[in-house]
Amino acid sequence: MKSFIVSFLLLVIGLTSPITQASSIVTGEDGYRLWMKYDLLQNKSLRKAYQKQLTKWSVVGQSETSQIIRDELDYALSGLLGQSEPAGYRSANLVVVTGRLATRWIPDLGDELSKLGDEGYIIRQVEHNNKSVIVVTANTDIGALYGTFNLLRLVQTQTPLDAVDISSAPKTKVRVLNHWDNPDRHVERGFAGESIWDWHKLPHYKYQKYTDYARANASIGINGTVLNNVNADPIMLTPAYLEKVKALADLFRPYGLKVYLSIKFNSPATLGGLKNSDPLNPQVAKWWDKKIAEIYQLIPDFGGFLVKANSEGQPGPGDYGRTHAQGANMLADALKPHGGIVMWRAFVYANEKNEERSKQAYSEFKPLDGKFRENVMVQVKNGPIDFQPREPISPLFGATQETPMMMEFQITMEYLGFSTHFVYLGPMYEEVLKTDTYAKGKGSTVGKVVAGEVYDYPLTGMAGVSNIGSDRNWTGHIILQSNWYVFGRMAWDYNISAEQVAEEWTRMTLSNKSAVVKKVTEMMMLSHEATVNYMTPLGLHHIMGTGHHYGPAPWVDDLGRADWNPVYYHRATKGGIGFDRSPSGVNAVEQYFSPLKEQLADPKSTPEKYLLWFHHLPWDYKVKSSGRTLWDEIVHRYYLGVDQVAQISQSWDSLQGQIDPLQFKQVQMANTIHLKEAIWWRNACVLYFQTFSQRPIPPGLDKPQGTLDTYKAMEFPYAPGQGE
């Protein structure tokens, strides 16, 4: 009887339980492992070849970094090849060795290594004692770590190693992520959860994620991290927080990752109780001296400071009538004896200046060339305004012979669809880095300027505003991991192509099947252009929603500052659209070198992608590439953008069953949002601009759904990532 009751109850529970079909337990790739998956290689013949070449390995060295290399090799090779055997250096087929000892395997090494500097490396197949050995060597253990990651990348992407011979050294010295993370874990412009730094639990509680973060950065050559927001909270410089910073620095050190902090310029007054924070006040300089000594006491290899000053309400030397150079130099002098640097941001603009916003950074910093100390870099955003989906280059690149311009890219997608739009930023970074400034004649590309190859800068660097958060998959969207990845790869080598990086990232993260690699690479390469098309085609810019920057709001005209309003930027009237920055307008083109200056001065020679950035043109203006009127062309591009997103989404759907189901589903869900939002962008913008153009939607295109009023009425008080 008892067993009958039990069976009956079980039956009832079974019938009412929703778990009837597929299991609710899902395992698979959730994105945590990033591009360091190391799953067993499916290509058997290659796997066999690698097993012969790599299974028996030896890492010569005793440092913490050497141990990290051992751990990584063991973990990676066991995974990729199903075999890993630490061996003595005599019997090993793979040897990782630092410094002159390498001549034991490469007797004719000469000064090859010394030319590669502190971070470069060589990976070479040699004959040694009648057997083939692969040698990874560098001047330092960190260089050897980078080399090891490169070797693993070759295996992960199934590149044969026979006769491998690679020498590589970074083209820029400082390759840093900028975290816009606040002490309360809110990330300004962050769309992947909270800050990964749990300040409250530091210094004692150290998540494994911190170590994995350092590993991931080392794997792509990133060698620094600015832990906190440029809109800095002075609390970061208090003793309690410096202990927390130290805990992270200690974890990151063996991965070659230096720690930097953003500082608030008025800290001497707010934290130190001084009367002011004037950089020429000796008390102020003294306060910084002491504070900096305190930091180095805790963190002997501390990197230095990132400073946002006199920008968007932040305090700065201008508050005391001093220049940016005077402010930066005061900090640089205090950091110098410890080896620290200052990254001083050029993102400054003010309403009161009576100069068009896109021109202000140049006007402010160009005259200061030569006035900065040797341990200062000026960190400038890639475009003259502000991380728009597409901008021409900032005219500051190439304009300063003595002051290093450091590149600042945004990796997080503040203006590009947050973390639900499928946008690979490689093509955008490449477009910027390969643009010719003509600073010293043809071929003076932005990449070369930044790398100190046009002018011999004492310091060089690239910064990327991080898209990392507490989300399990780090970046909120699997595909957006590739933006962290490509930033690192291009900071190391500005010459590398976005396509090559897309392909290698796909192989490491999604699949090595060539059909999948081809498809995903194509989607990635299309994605940035698609986004520009449905958001801001033909050089339109800054027409996003107020404050949060989510979605379209080209109609906004009531913000406190003229240059915060979308209408300031697109200037649509019944007569036409676009911003006249040519000599007949605000003449922003004068800040560029010839022949770029002349090219951009004339709508006929301006690349169409920047047309409305530099020119105000009538709606009937004939667009060269298509022969359409400007109005028709704008509308066509908005529609094209949506079609391209639909194409990406369908293409992704066709991969079902060919990649991990969890990865597949995450991206598929995001694609649904992406398409919906692309349509929203298109409809809202086309309807709005139509009120000026008063022209019909060109034949062959559907009428946009909805009414302008409904789009205008949309509000998003809780959109993620908002600023202060």
Residues designated as active site: 312, 386, 414
Neighbours of 502 (CB within 10 A): 25
Q: Is 138 helix (H, G, I), strand (E, B) or coil?
A: strand
Closer residue to ligand BDP (CB): 156 or 311: 311
Q: Is 546 in the site for ligand BDP (CB under 6 A)?
A: no
Instruction: Using alpha carbons only, give the angle 429, 433, 439 rounded to the nearest 5 degrees.
Output: 150
Q: Is 231 in the site for ligand BDP (CB under 6 A)?
A: yes
Closer residue to ligand BDP (CB): 144 or 309: 309
Query: At closest approach, how far in Å is the CB of 722 from ligand BDP?
Result: 8
Are the C-beta atoms of residues 610 and 592 closer than 8 Å to each other? no
Closer residue to ligand BDP (CB): 464 or 603: 464
Q: Which amino acid is at 85?
A: E
Query: At closest approach, how far in Å is the CB of 209 from ligand BDP?
Result: 24
Burial pattern 379-411, b for ≥16 Cβ within 10 A else e, equals bbbbbbbbbbbbbbbbbbbbbbeebbbbbbbbb
Q: Is 723 in the site for ligand BDP (CB under 6 A)?
A: yes
Closer residue to ligand BDP (CB): 231 or 587: 231
DSSP assignment string, 568-636: HHH---SSEES---STTTT-GGGGSPTTHHHHHHSTTTS-GGGHHHH--EETTPBPTTT--BHHHHHHH
DSSP assignment string, 274-294: -S---TT-HHHHHHHHHHHHH
Are the C-beta atoms of residues 610 and 623 closer than 8 Å to each other? no
- Contact with ligand BDP (CB under 6 A) among 278, 386, 529, 632: 386
Closer residue to ligand BDP (CB): 188 or 580: 188
Query: At closest approach, how far in Å is the CB of 600 from ligand BDP?
Result: 23
- Residue 516 to residue 709: CA distance in whole angstroms: 43
Query: At closest approach, how far in Å is the CB of 337 from ligand BDP?
Result: 29
Closer residue to ligand BDP (CB): 309 or 451: 309
Measuring CA to CA, which residue among 230, 142, 143, 144 is closest to residue 179?
230
Closer residue to ligand BDP (CB): 187 or 601: 187
Q: Is 189 in the site for ligand BDP (CB under 6 A)?
A: yes
Query: At closest approach, how far in Å is the CB of 24 from ligand BDP?
Result: 40
- Total chain residues near ligand BDP (CB under 6 A): 11
Query: At closest approach, how far in Å is the CB of 414 from ligand BDP?
Result: 6
Query: At closest approach, how far in Å is the CB of 235 from ligand BDP?
Result: 18
Query: At closest approach, how far in Å is the CB of 577 from ligand BDP?
Result: 23
Query: At closest approach, how far in Å is the CB of 501 from ligand BDP?
Result: 25
Location of structure tokens 């992407």: 157
Q: Where in 85-124 is the site for ligand BDP (CB under 6 A)?
A: none
Neighbours of 163 (CB within 10 A): 9
Q: Is 230 in the site for ligand BDP (CB under 6 A)?
A: yes
Q: Is 304 helix (H, G, I), strand (E, B) or coil?
A: strand
**Which residues, 6 or more positions from 72, have their beta carbon under 8 angstroms from its beta carbon?**
145, 148, 149, 152, 215
Omega before residue 595 within 30° of 0, cis: yes
Q: Is 215 in the site for ligand BDP (CB under 6 A)?
A: no
Are the C-beta atoms of residues 479 and 490 closer than 8 Å to each other? no
Location of structure tokens 């989906």: 389
Omega before residue 203 within 30° of 0, cis: yes
Q: Is 642 in the site for ligand BDP (CB under 6 A)?
A: no
If you compute the radius of gyration of the chain from its CA atoms, what whole number of angstroms results?
Answer: 27
- Residue 315 to residue 313: CA distance in whole angstroms: 6
- Residue 66 to residue 373: CA distance in whole angstroms: 36
The residue nearest ligand BDP at its CB is: 723
Are the C-beta atoms of residues 214 and 496 closer than 8 Å to each other? no
Closer residue to ligand BDP (CB): 146 or 387: 387
Q: Which string of x and - marks every residue 258-297 that binds ligand BDP (by CB under 6 A)?
A: ----------------------------------------
Query: At closest approach, how far in Å is the CB of 408 from ligand BDP?
Result: 8
CA distances, 498 to each of 310, 381, 462 (Å):
35, 19, 17
DSSP assignment string, 211-224: HHHHHHHHHTT--E
Closer residue to ligand BDP (CB): 188 or 660: 188
Are the C-beta atoms of residues 8 and 640 closer than 8 Å to each other? no
Q: Where in 311-350 is the site for ligand BDP (CB under 6 A)?
A: 312, 347
Query: At closest approach, how far in Å is the CB of 411 from ligand BDP?
Result: 13
Go through the chain and tell me how many residues it has: 724
Q: Where in 400-439 is the site for ligand BDP (CB under 6 A)?
A: 414
Closer residue to ligand BDP (CB): 211 or 546: 546
Closer residue to ligand BDP (CB): 180 or 534: 180
- Contact with ligand BDP (CB under 6 A) among 105, 288, 387, 680: 387
Return the structure tokens found at 441.
């004649």
Are the C-beta atoms of residues 421 and 674 closer than 8 Å to each other? yes
- Residue 330 to residue 335: CA distance in whole angstroms: 9
Closer residue to ligand BDP (CB): 234 or 723: 723
Q: What values do phi and psi take at 98, rounded to 5? A: -105, 140
Query: At closest approach, how far in Å is the CB of 186 from ligand BDP?
Result: 11
Which residues are bridge partners to 378 per DSSP?
A: 344, 405
Is 96 buried (19+), middle (13-18) or exposed (0-12) by CB count in 10 A? buried
Binding site for ligand BDP (CB under 6 A): 188-189, 230-231, 308, 312, 347, 386-387, 414, 723
